[in-house]
């Protein structure tokens, strides 16, 4: 009997559910529907739904104000879609896979029971802006989908292989251990997909594949992957560290925030009973990045603008990216199969890719302008110049599929 898997990605402003059918043979799952409600923080919320030729684009939905509301609305839409014959009722759904940003020391996906849930609640203090929304959906699933197995996939798990010398902060070790203060790294579900997809494209075993991967979206990071395993990631204790993003500052002098505001340590007005946020976290995570510099979170507009502040934001992003590429090239001792662009900006930003590669030519990367301008249609697509020392690739990463694939391939999870 086929298994029906929901791959759920809950963000602060949206909830996305991809529906997969998995055969018991262990074959990769097949996507059969995709649904998303966006705009939770900027009403009206809108529904986008795709199933075969059936499409709904940005339809306003009423009475949806929270992640739980969005999940319930999406679930009802899936059940009430007569064309989606695989889901006739809630009991048709056998598995719910949840993207959870911070998994602490969990090295792999984990079935969510009461102990797991409470452990993840404790971790919310480390990542209040990222875990709270996912846990809200997990809680709703345990109530609404009582017969489904809930599986948490952690963005931090892929980086469990980062060596001690890289993940350890030079602070009091007793205090660090007690409070779980170390580099964790994030975007790991995406990097897991990228590593596997690039290895297949290069016809290499994952264990022999070494790449520098760039997940560039509203949240952005870089990752050094050595022999299929994470060596380093630009993010740290939380996703704030590393590259700047749409509303995140990225790494900066830690003392800056105390000069920026005297209220840095005080609770933010956005704090709730479930989510404790300091003013500093609010400013650096939600009121910084290229929105603070340009007034927009649309990097496409920033890339094409002649406005000085947009040019500055673009140049800052390029500078920070090439800094990590250079650092990771050295950490990988020059043994690099490819530089890989991924994420919404990485996939669509031909101008950004060109500028980054321009500054990385000294390392042996080069770009074919015609290939770079083409639409990215394949899962992995080569945009490098023939004869270059290293490959330059674009990967259409798919975190939803990576969760469903991992669930279907793991007997402990799928049974």
Active site members:
155
Cα 271 to Cα 15, 127, 179, 281, distances in angstroms: 21, 13, 21, 11
DSSP character string of 82-141: TT-TT-SSGGG--EEEEEES--TT--S-EE--HHHHHHHHHHTTTSHHHHHHHHHHHHHH
* H helix or E strand, kind and range, residue 260: helix 256-260
C-alpha R_g of the chain: 21
Residue with tokens 């890289």: 166
**Peptide bond before 258: cis, by omega within 30 degrees of 0?**
no
Number of H helices, E strands in the chain: 16, 14
Check: CB of residue 202 under 8 Å from CB of residue 337: yes
* H helix or E strand, kind and range, residue 1: none
């Amino acid at each position: 009997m086929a298994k029906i898997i929901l791959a759920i990605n809950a963000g602060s402003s949206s909830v996305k559910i991809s529906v997969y059918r998995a055969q018991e043979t262990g074959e990769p799952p097949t996507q059969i529907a995709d649904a998303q409600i966006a705009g939770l923080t900027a009403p009206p919320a809108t529904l986008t739904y795709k199933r075969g030729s059936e499409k709904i684009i940005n339809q306003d939905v009423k009475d949806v104000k929270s992640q739980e509301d969005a999940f319930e609305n999406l679930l009802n839409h899936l059940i009430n879609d007569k064309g989606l014959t695989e889901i006739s009722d809630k009991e048709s759904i056998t598995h719910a896979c949840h993207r959870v940003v911070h998994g602490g020391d969990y090295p792999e996906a984990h079935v969510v029971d009461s102990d797991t849930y409470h452990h993840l609640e404790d971790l919310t203090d480390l990542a209040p802006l990222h875990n709270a929304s996912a846990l809200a959906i997990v809680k709703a699933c345990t109530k609404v989908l009582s017969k489904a197995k809930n599986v948490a996939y952690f963005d931090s798990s892929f980086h469990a292989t980062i060596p001690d010398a890289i993940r350890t902060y030079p602070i009091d070790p007793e205090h660090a251990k007690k409070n779980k203060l170390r580099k964790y790294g994030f975007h790991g579900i995406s990097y897991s997909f990228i590593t596997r997809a690039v290895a297949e494209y290069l016809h290499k075993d994952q264990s022999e594949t070494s790449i520098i991967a760039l997940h560039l979206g509203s949240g952005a990071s870089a990752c050094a992957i050595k022999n299929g395993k994470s060596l380093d990631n630009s993010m740290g204790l939380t996703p704030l560290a590393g590259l700047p993003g749409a509303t995140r500052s990225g790494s900066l002098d830690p003392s800056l925030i105390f000069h920026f505001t005297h209220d840095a340590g005080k609770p933010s007005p956005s704090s709730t009973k479930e989510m404790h946020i300091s003013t500093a976290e609010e400013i650096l995570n939600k009121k910084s990045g290229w929105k603070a510099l340009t007034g927009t979170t649309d990097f496409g507009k920033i890339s094409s603008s002649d406005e000085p502040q947009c040019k500055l934001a673009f140049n800052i992003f390029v500078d920070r990216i090439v800094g990590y590429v250079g650092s990771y090239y050295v950490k990988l001792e020059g043994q690099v199969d490819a530089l890989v662009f991924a994420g919404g900006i990485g996939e669509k930003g031909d101008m950004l890719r060109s500028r980054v590669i321009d500054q990385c030519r000294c390392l042996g990367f080069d770009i074919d302008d015609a290939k770079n301008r083409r639409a990215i249609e394949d899962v992995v697509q080569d945009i490098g110049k023939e004869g270059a020392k290293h490959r330059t690739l674009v990967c259409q990463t798919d975190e939803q599929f990576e969760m469903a694939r991992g669930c279907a391939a793991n007997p402990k999870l799928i049974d």
